[in-house]
C-alpha cells in the first residue's frame, strides 16, 4: 500500500455502533475489569490505556497515521510543535552535552536553544546552511544531536538529507529533522537515514488554522525514551485536537498537491517582477539548490519568498496594500498568508542578527492557501504596484 492509503485506512478499532468515522474519546483515564488487568497495564505487559497523559485512542490514531506517512516505526504526539521539539531535546540531551543545529530555524526553536538549554548545562553551535563543508568540524566529542530544518524558515534554503545523514551516522550522533515545511507528502527524511522527524501539526497537517499539535516519529527505541519522558512531564496532545488532526491527514495529500502547484505557479509568474530583487521557491530552476530540491522532494511545498526592492518600508507598505491575503503569524492554512519577518516576528533582533539567520529587510514570505491562484496573483500584483 502507498503511505497515503495506509494513513487514511489506519483507524481506531470500531465500537459496537459500527461507526465509519472514528469517535472522539474525551476521557482522562481508562478502566479495568480486574486488579490483575490493572496490574498488567501498569507493568507495561499489555497495550491497555492507563491515562490520557500517557496515551489515548485518538492521539494514537493520529500518531499511527503520521508514522504511515513518514515511514516511521513509532511516534509520540504532543500539545504543540514546540512541545515535541522540547521533549525530544530533553529526552536525549543532558548536562555536558552539545547540540549542533542549523542556523536558520523556526524562531521559538532558536530561542529555546539560545536562551534556555544552557540552564541545563547543554551547549550549542549553529551551523551555516550555506556552508555545509564547515559542518564536520563543528561536531565535538560531546555532540549528541544534529538538529535541522529543510527547507529552512523563512529563507527556504535546503540541506541535502543524504549528505547530512551520512555526516550524523559517521559521527555517531542523532539526526533530528523538523519536517514541518515540506510535510511527508513532499519529503520523507527517514528514507535518507534521519533518526527522528518532528512536525508542528498546527501548520500543514491541520491545514485549516484551527488547532495546535505536534508529533515526533522515528526509531521505536528512541520514541520509547521520548514517551517515558513526556508521560512524566505532561506535554500531552488533547484527544479533541488529535481527532481534528487525524481527520485532516486524510486530505493532506490532495491539499499539499494543490498548495504546491499554486505556489509554483505564483512564484514562477512573479519571478522577474520589477519590484522584486529576487524570488525563491525550491522547485524553481533558479533556486540555488534546485538539484537538491528535485532529488529529495516530490514537490516544492506551499511556501515561497521574495525580496522587495526598498527594504523595510516597502515590506510594511506591501502588507498594508494586500486586500485578500491574511496578515497573521501562522502558516500552512487553506487561506493564503503574507508575512514580513523584519518588521514583525524578528523585529526585536538587530539588523545584523536578522541577516545572520537569513532575514533581509524586504523579505516577504507567502504561505499559499487553497484559493484560486488567479485571485492570489491579482492581489499580490496590485500590492506590488502600491509598495
Ligand X SMILES: *Cc1c(COP(=O)(O)O)cnc(C)c1O
Site residues for ligand X per CB under 6 A: 80-82, 106, 108-109, 149, 153, 178, 180-181, 200, 202-203, 212, 214
Q: In terms of Cα–Cα distance, which of 367, 210, 227 is closest to 301?
A: 367
Least Cβ distance, residue 352 to ligand X (angstroms): 23
Least distance from ligand X to the Cβ atom of residue 153, Å: 5
The three-point CA angle 368-148-216 to 5° equals 80
Judged by CB, which is closer to ligand X: 307, or 333? 333
The answer to whether 81 touches 214, Cβ cutoff 8 Å, is: yes
| Closer CB to ligand X, 27 or 108, in the complex | 108
DSSP 238: P
Least separation in angstroms between CB 85 and ligand X:
6
* HSE of 221, CA atoms in CB hemisphere, 13 A: 2
By C-beta, is 275 or 346 nearer to ligand X?
Answer: 346
CB of 351 to ligand X, least distance (A): 23
Distance CA 84, CA 76 (A): 8
Could you tell me which of 292, 307, 334, 273 has the C-alpha nearest to residue 163? Answer: 292
- Closest CB to ligand X: residue number: 81
How many residues are there in the chain? 387
Closest CB to ligand X among 84 and 139? 84
Q: Which is nearer to ligand X, 10 or 200 (CB)?
A: 200
In this structure, what DSSP letter does residue 23 have? P
Minimum CB separation of residue 102 from ligand X in Å reads 11
User: Which residue's C-alpha cell is 522587495?
Assistant: 308
CB nearer ligand X, residue 62 or residue 181: 181
Could you count the other beta carbons within 10 Å of the beta carbon of residue 316?
Answer: 17
The CB density around residue 294, as the number of other CB atoms within 10 Å, is 15
Shortest Cβ 386–ligand X spacing (Å): 29
Contact residues for 234 (Cβ-Cβ < 8 A; gap 6+): 53
Amino acid at each position: 500500500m502507498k503511505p497515503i492509503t495506509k494513513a487514511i485506512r489506519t483507524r481506531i478499532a470500531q465500537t459496537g455502533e459500527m461507526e465509519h468515522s472514528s469517535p472522539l474519546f474525551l476521557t482522562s483515564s481508562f478502566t479495568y475489569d480486574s486488579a490483575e488487568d490493572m496490574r498488567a497495564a501498569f507493568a507495561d505487559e499489555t497495550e491497555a490505556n492507563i491515562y490520557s497523559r500517557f496515551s489515548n485512542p485518538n492521539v494514537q490514531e493520529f500518531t499511527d497515521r503520521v508514522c504511515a506517512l513518514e515511514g516511521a516505526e513509532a511516534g509520540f504526539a504532543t500539545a504543540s510543535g514546540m512541545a515535541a521539539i522540547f521533549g525530544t531535546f530533553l529526552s536525549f540531551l543532558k548536562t555536558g552535552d552539545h547540540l549542533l543545529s542549523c542556523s536558520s530555524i523556526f524562531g521559538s526553536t532558536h530561542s529555546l536553544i539560545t536562551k534556555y538549554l544552557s540552564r541545563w548545562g547543554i551547549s550549542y553551535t549553529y551551523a551555516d546552511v550555506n556552508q555545509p563543508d564547515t559542518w564536520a568540524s563543528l561536531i565535538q566529542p560531546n555532540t549528541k544531536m544534529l538538529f535541522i530544518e529543510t527547507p529552512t524558515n523563512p529563507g527556504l534554503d535546503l540541506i541535502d538529507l543524504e549528505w547530512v545523514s551520512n555526516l550524523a551516522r559517521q559521527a555517531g550522533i542523532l539526526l533530528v529533522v523538523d519536517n514541518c515545511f515540506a510535510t511527508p507528502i513532499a519529503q520523507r527524511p527517514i528514507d535518507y537515514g534521519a533518526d527522528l522527524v518532528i512536525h508542528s501539526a498546527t501548520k500543514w497537517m491541520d491545514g485549516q488554522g484551527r488547532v495546535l499539535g505536534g508529533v515526533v516519529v522515528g526509531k521505536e527505541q528512541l520514541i520509547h525514551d521520548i514517551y517515558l519522558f513526556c508521560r512524566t512531564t505532561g506535554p500531552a496532545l488533547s484527544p479533541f485536537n488529535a481527532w481534528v488532526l487525524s481527520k485532516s491527514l486524510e486530505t493532506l495529500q490532495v491539499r499539499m498537491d494543490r498548495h504546491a502547484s499554486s505556489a509554483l505557479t505564483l512564484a514562477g509568474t512573479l519571478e522577474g517582477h520589477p519590484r522584486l530583487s529576487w524570488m525563491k521557491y525550491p522547485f524553481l530552476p533558479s533556486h540555488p539548490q534546485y538539484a537538491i530540491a528535485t532529488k529529495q522532494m516530490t514537490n516544492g511545498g506551499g511556501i515561497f519568498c521574495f525580496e522587495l526592492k526598498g527594504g523595510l518600508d516597502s515590506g510594511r507598505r506591501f502588507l498594508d496594500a494586500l486586500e485578500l491575503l491574511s496578515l497573521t503569524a501562522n502558516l500552512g492554512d487553506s487561506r493564503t498568508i503574507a508575512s514580513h519577518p523584519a518588521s514583525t516576528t524578528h523585529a526585536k533582533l538587530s539588523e545584523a542578527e536578522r541577516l545572520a539567520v537569513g532575514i533581509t529587510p524586504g523579505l516577504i514570505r507567502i504561505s499559499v492557501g487553497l484559493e484560486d491562484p488567479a485571485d492570489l496573483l491579482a492581489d499580490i500584483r496590485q500590492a506590488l504596484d502600491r509598495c
